[in-house]
Structure 1
Amino acid sequence: MSLLNGGVLVVDDNPANLKLMTKVLRGAGYNVRVASSGRMALESVKARLPDLVLLDIKMPQMNGFEVCERLKQDPASRDVPVIFLSALRESADKLRSFAVGAVDYITKPFVPEEVLVRVQSHLNLRELQLELERKVAERTRALRTLSAGNQAVVHARSVEEMLELMGEAIIGGGYPAALIALDDGARCQAGREDVHWDEDLMPDGPCGLYDGDADRPGHSIILPLRLQDRPLGRLLVFADDHHAFSEIEDVRVMVEMAGDLTYGLDTLQAREQHLKARHALEHSLERTIEAIATTLEFRDPYTAGHQKRATRIAEAIAHEIGLDEHRLKGLFVAGTIHDIGKISVPVEILSRPGKLSVAEFEIIKGHAIAGYDIVKGIDFPWPVPQIIRQHHERLDGSGYPDGLSGNDILLEARILAVADVVEAISSHRPYRPALGLSAAVEEIRTHRGTRFDARVVDACLKLIDAGRLPLAEY
């Protein structure tokens, strides 16, 4: 089931252009809406969010740049891709379009086939982004519920209190209704009272069931509660949408929660289950991060490969200086997606050969804050958002985006900064060939103790001298 249903909004003050674009897009099967002015475009977006906007620049009263800026300022529409379709050909106009948030720029007169290819490409990326956001939201909801459920298991002093706290944890995690029914008669129903529960169902394993009607559809998961071979009852969790529990990992988290409840009922194993759930939470977070990182491979293979290689180098350095296992996990997670913010940078800039302009480089520099904004809402057990934001900071305050210096920069970020530079200089880039490991060594040695942490540089150089830095792919 596609997550795209808003269609394409075409904005142009020229009726002939609107007619032509409508014919081209509808001929390719797209749902098309039109607006003949910037104000009409904003009203149309407010009424129903489009999947993509094709936007002219030269329009009276409100030009295309102003329309795009307003769309990007509104949280509801800021992620909708905007493609400028304009007769303006100056580089300054194109750079300004990307600066205000556009993802592409097509000059008039255009070739219909080119427009269709670019529209489909950005719609594919938009659907991928929406699917990723849905998966992350569902995974975060499941993990938050699992964590709260663990707290209920740990703090409950009786079966009745445990069932009540577990019901509250499920509802607090974002699910609208839940039922816990034990074979001995104890039960707790939490959340919405209009949800129908078929309590006669007792599956051998988890299964998703349709619960509700045409007006209030939903999706349920029913999980057996068993202590070894002894059945204890069942746990039922209801969600409002059919996407819930569609991922194996999300079902696994629900199974884990049912397991926590089961073992929580057996007070002798409460502590063991709490630790097990904690490990499952960390593992699930790592899997979620790997899914996020995978999205970059569809858009920018150079960035995706760079993240993996820089992370391996950072892990080797961290091991050398004695970072503990918990912080190593956090460094791995942050390193795996430290450039995720580049998803906000136009592909044309990322893959452009030759030297970037000042304006283009400023756009790229924004990826540190963009990456921080993407992941800051995820409840990590490590300072992942801060590491991502700080990986371009420098000890002497010359870095970005915040100009931090010295110990104000997290050690993990200082490690990643060195690994990032070594990998970037040593490997090929679209705008230059690989400069080689010797150039990377010269860079970090020259700026040891000024831009880069001396202990981190020394550890890196020691690994290079011993042939133990993971550089096999260069």
Structure 2
Amino acid sequence: MTKELMTIRPDMNLRNSKHIHILVVDDEEIIRNMLQQAIKNAGYDCSNAGNARDALKVLEEKNVDVVINDIEMPGLNGIELTKIVKEKYDSDVIVMTGFAKDLKHEEVIERGARDFMRKPFSVKEMLIRLKHVLNERAIFSEWKRAEEDLKHSIMKLERVLGETVNALVSALEKRDPYTAGHQQRVTKLACAISKEMGLSDEQIGGIRIAGLLHDIGKISIPIDILNK
């Protein structure tokens, strides 16, 4: 493991690795110090803790991206810590153990961990698994950011659409003062009926626009014909 500590290099494919923080939790000081050094050599910030209680203190103080924790620890064990981490913090968890021979990989994943390593494992294996989790985390973050951008774009388009519809209705009423307010009355009635029918807000929004525009064809009719 010592030679591997010297040969592992940072993954240049992960952006902003210096802002990524890893927390190693293991009651064996030699193991957690060795893993911490390997993770730092790979280009990431890294803290360590000897038990779940100290780990939770670190999680309160720092934005931790991934927690790598042992299962067998005094006090709260690794599974219990994993549950708390997933409930309270925006961190992913990789579980490691050398004792739980009957504990299956899928059982650990079901309890909230993103990956599972059996001791003894190599530093290279640990870093490969860590980078895999970080890549998945980055992809999910990009997806969430794109989703938020899309929501903002849709809201902006809806606002522009509303302003355009109101402008068209205003222009139509100026051309035909006799029916002024007709579009709003029809729209209000249609929306009230839609609400009573239990339609969704999105459907009611579409009906509102349709109600305001139902006479829009009159905007192209000559005024002398409208006034007859």
Instruction: Verify same fold: TM over 0.5.
Output: yes
Q: Decide which of 91, 94, 98 is 1:83's aligned counterpart.
A: 94
Q: Distance in 1 between matches of 2:145 and 2:164?
A: 28
Give the drift of 1:23. 1.6
Aligned twin of 2:43: 29
Aligned twin of 1:40: 54
- Higher-Rg structure is 2
Q: Secondary structure in 2 aligned to 1:134? A: helix
- Going from structure 1 to structure 2, the CA distance change for 1:92 and 1:267 (only over 3 Å counts) comes to same
Q: Distance in 1 between matches of 2:123 and 2:21?
A: 18
- Write the letter of the residue equivalent to 2:136: L
Q: Distance in 2 between matches of 1:25 and 1:9?
A: 10
Aligned twin of 1:387: none
Q: Secondary structure in 1 aligned to 2:75? A: coil
Describe the superposition over 1:10-46 as per-residue Cα deviations: whole angstroms up to 9, x where unpaired.
1112111111101211122221111221122122222
Give the drift of 1:94. 3.6
Describe the superposition over 1:277-300 as per-residue Cα deviations: whole angstroms up to 9, x where unpaired.
xxxxxxxxxxxxxxxxxxxxxxxx
Give the drift of 1:267. 4.5
- Going from structure 1 to structure 2, the CA distance change for 1:19 and 1:108 (only over 3 Å counts) comes to same
- Going from structure 1 to structure 2, the CA distance change for 1:267 and 1:50 (only over 3 Å counts) comes to farther
Describe the superposition over 1:430-465 as per-residue Cα deviations: whole angstroms up to 9, x where unpaired.
xxxxxxxxxxxxxxxxxxxxxxxxxxxxxxxxxxxx
Q: Secondary structure in 2 aligned to 1:92? A: coil
**Aligned partners of 2:24 and 2:35 also within 8 Å:** yes
Aligned twin of 1:18: 32
- Going from structure 1 to structure 2, the CA distance change for 1:149 and 1:86 (only over 3 Å counts) comes to same
Q: Are 2:163 and 1:152 aligned?
A: yes
**Aligned partners of 1:25 and 1:116 also within 8 Å:** yes
**Aligned partners of 1:6 and 1:48 also within 8 Å:** no
Q: Secondary structure in 1 aligned to 2:80? A: helix
Aligned twin of 1:412: none
Give the drift of 1:153. 3.0
Q: Distance in 2 between matches of 1:107 and 1:48?
A: 27
- Going from structure 1 to structure 2, the CA distance change for 1:267 and 1:6 (only over 3 Å counts) comes to farther
Give the drift of 1:132. 0.8
Q: Are 2:137 and 1:126 aligned?
A: yes
**Aligned partners of 2:33 and 2:48 also within 8 Å:** no
- Structure 2, unaligned runs of 5 or more: 1-13, 173-200, 204-228
Asked which structure has the greater RCO (Cα within 8 Å, sep 6+), the reply is 2
Q: Are 2:78 and 1:64 aligned?
A: yes
- Write the letter of the residue equivalent to 1:150: L
Q: Distance in 2 between matches of 1:3 and 1:130?
A: 13
- Structure 1, unaligned runs of 5 or more: 157-263, 269-378, 382-474
Give the drift of 1:89. 4.3
Describe the superposition over 1:230-262 as per-residue Cα deviations: whole angstroms up to 9, x where unpaired.
xxxxxxxxxxxxxxxxxxxxxxxxxxxxxxxxx
- Name whichever structure is richer in helix by fraction: 2
What is the count of residue pairs matched by the alignment? 161
**Aligned partners of 1:3 and 1:130 also within 8 Å:** no
Which aligned runs of 4 or more in structure 1 are off by greater than 6 angstroms?
Answer: none
Give the drift of 1:119. 0.8
Identity in percent: 27
Q: Distance in 1 between matches of 2:202 and 2:54?
A: 42
- Write the letter of the residue equivalent to 2:141: L
- Write the letter of the residue equivalent to 2:162: Q
Q: Are 2:63 and 1:52 aligned?
A: no
